[in-house]
Amino acid sequence: MRLCSNGLPAPVAQPDWTKAVNGLVAAGEKAHKAAQTKNLDAMLDVSETLSDACAACHEKYRDVDLSGGTRCKVGK
């Protein structure tokens, strides 16, 4: 079982979690390819995609208090 830093189970069975993870993988691959070109403009082009991919999970599961739900953020 995958646990969050606060010891609660990560919401890996949630469909939107899976979608967010797949989006992060795709964004990471794009960022990796852009980094390999050593072209700043290419990295800037992909930066919003990468930021959006991170936010897809953080906004729902980490940066909010889901009363009674599984969340990864410690504290409120």
Q: What is the pLDDT of residues 13-60, one digit of tens each?
A: 888 888 999 999 999 999 999 999 999 999 999 999 999 999 888 887
Joined tokens for residue 42: 């290419």
pLDDT for 71: 58
Joined tokens for residue 76: 């409120």
Collapsing DSSP to helix, strand or coil, 57 comes out as: helix
Joined tokens for residue 60: 């729902």
pLDDT for 74: 43
Q: Is the pTM of this model over 0.75?
A: no
- Among 76, 75, 69, 72, which residue's Cα sits nearest to residue 7? 72
Domain ranges across the chain: 22-60
